[in-house]
Amino acid sequence: MTKEIVINPITRIEGHAKVTIFLKEDEAVKEARFQVTDFRGFEKFCEGRPFYEMPSITARSCGICSVSHLIASAKACDVIVGVTPPATAVMLRRLMHMGQIIQSHALNFFHLAFPDLLLGMDADPAERNIFGLIEKHPDVAMQGIKLRKFGQELIEKVAGRRIHSSDWIIPGGGKWPFTKQNADYLLSKLPEALDITLKTIKLFKNCLQELEDEVQNFGNFPTYYLGLVTAKGGLEHYDGKIRIVDAEGKIVADQLDPAVYYEYIGEAVEPWSYMKFPYYKPLGYPDGAYRVGPLARLNVASHCGTPLADEELKEFKQLGKNGVVQSTFHYHYARLIEILFCLEGVKEILEEPDILSERVSSKAFVNNDQGVGVAEAPRGTLIHHYAVDPQGMIVWTNMIIATEHNNLAYNKAVTQVAKKYVKAKQLKEGMLNRVEAVIRAFDPCLSCATHAVGQMPLEVQLIDAEGKLVDRIFR
């Protein structure tokens, strides 16, 4: 009798993980678990390094999220040296971070998720990938490549390199000023990126009619939502304070200081995963489960603050009760709205006269023995917390990675999708692909979340009522 199904690894996500589906006596799905089986080491091996090396060390934990780590890390270092970076440096950091969000969201949407949306959840897996997309919809694939390239160029023009651009960012600001030539170049490329984004939003909405069933059943459940907002409650990626809303849209906590995240965020541990389970402390574990990332940010924010994104946000908020959208499927929609918001924000910053100011760093050495830096990475709230000795050597670190915050929600989501679609008696590939697709909607980054040492496998397992493994799929 069938006991358990294993999907390993889950494909088209950043990093490696597996899903185990546990079955009841009658082979109906009992529960599913998203398991990350790797060991994280970064927090430990940073100890003993000088604090000013932290941005470039932690950026190496991931090739996709490197800029987000640079930002959170540099902000923690700003606190250690006790300075406020010059306004121009903040604008330039924001600019490269917007580039990061654009490139990362474009990667998830076009390369990882769009094959499911455009080619179908049940399409042949040999074609249901970026190569199949290039063959069937070459124009769409090309637009995805162009949009991602624009995000990468933004990073490159500010910081010198597209990936691991840690040469520029330093505690207190950045190393060199921006040039008019780079500003003009980026402004010339902006209209095309905007055009692609608006077209893609239309295309995505057209796909939705076909995917109504998935929208209803893909991790569609109540949780809390957590993210940074501006002082007025607007969408914020670089700075701001933390807001938490419940499934009904009620603000549970607002303008929480991210520097004391440990007062309200707890980190639980489960024996079956190396990824921790953050939760909102006042509600306890696991009741304090919340989601972060694009969906959560749009759920907590009352507005974006740029015209096109605000118009789209209004439509987005109509999908849920009191403006809170529960379906994990709509992380995709939220990602597109955030790209739009970033493109509009990029234009605003590039047109600021002060962007070319020569003053891009404030210099100082160790003035505080601790520093917390928080930013909204593409995947959600990213926290870096360092303690240093008087010489500025790291004595302790804690990082909470965006992907970790969603850990409780992943498990709820895979359970919901498995219960709805997986029929152990007539198992089909498309059923398991839906389990993978709900994970793709979250866009986890497991390299970041585990600070991988070595390889992380991903598999889906089907386990029976007596705990015996009955089927497994490795990727």
Residues that bind Ni ion (CB under 5 A): 62, 64-65, 445, 448
Report whether 218 contacts 329 (CB < 8 A): yes
The least distance separating Mg ion from the CB of residue 277, rounded to whole angstroms, comes to 11
Q: How far apart are CA 187 and CA 322, in angstroms?
A: 37
Report whether 32 contacts 415 (CB < 8 A): yes
The residue nearest Mg ion at its CB is 398
How many other C-beta atoms can be found within 10 angstroms of the C-beta atom of residue 294?
29
The dihedrals phi and psi of 145, each to the nearest 5 degrees, come to -65, -40
- Quick one: 350 or 448, whose CB is closer to Ni ion? 448
If DSSP codes are grouped into helix, strand and coil, which group holds residue 351?
coil
Q: Which stretch binds Mg ion (CB under 5 A): 30-38, 148-156, 292-300, 394-402?
A: 394-402
Report whether 6 contacts 459 (CB < 8 A): yes
Residue 445 interface partner, choices Mg ion, Ni ion, none, CB cut-off 5-8 Å depending on type: Ni ion
The least distance separating Mg ion from the CB of residue 400, rounded to whole angstroms, comes to 5
- Quick one: 62 or 413, whose CB is closer to Ni ion? 62
Residue 62 interface partner, choices Mg ion, Ni ion, none, CB cut-off 5-8 Å depending on type: Ni ion
Report whether 133 contacts 141 (CB < 8 A): yes
The least distance separating Ni ion from the CB of residue 230, rounded to whole angstroms, comes to 25
Q: Where are the beta strands (DSSP E) in 352-442?
A: 370-377, 380-388, 394-400
Q: How far apart are CA 2 and CA 474, in angstroms?
A: 18
Q: Which stretch binds Mg ion (CB under 5 A): 98-106, 176-184, 342-350, 390-398?
A: 390-398
The least distance separating Mg ion from the CB of residue 123, rounded to whole angstroms, comes to 38
Residue 448 interface partner, choices Mg ion, Ni ion, none, CB cut-off 5-8 Å depending on type: Ni ion
- Quick one: 243 or 385, whose CB is closer to Mg ion? 385
Q: How far apart are CA 159 and CA 1, in angstroms?
A: 57
Tokens of 214: 């998935």
- Quick one: 172 or 444, whose CB is closer to Ni ion? 444
Of 367, 441, 435, 444, the residue nearest 403 (C-alpha): 444
The least distance separating Ni ion from the CB of residue 250, rounded to whole angstroms, comes to 32
- Quick one: 245 or 399, whose CB is closer to Mg ion? 399
Q: Which stretch binds Mg ion (CB under 5 A): 244-252, 281-289, 393-401, 425-433?
A: 393-401
Residues that bind Mg ion (CB under 5 A): 398-399
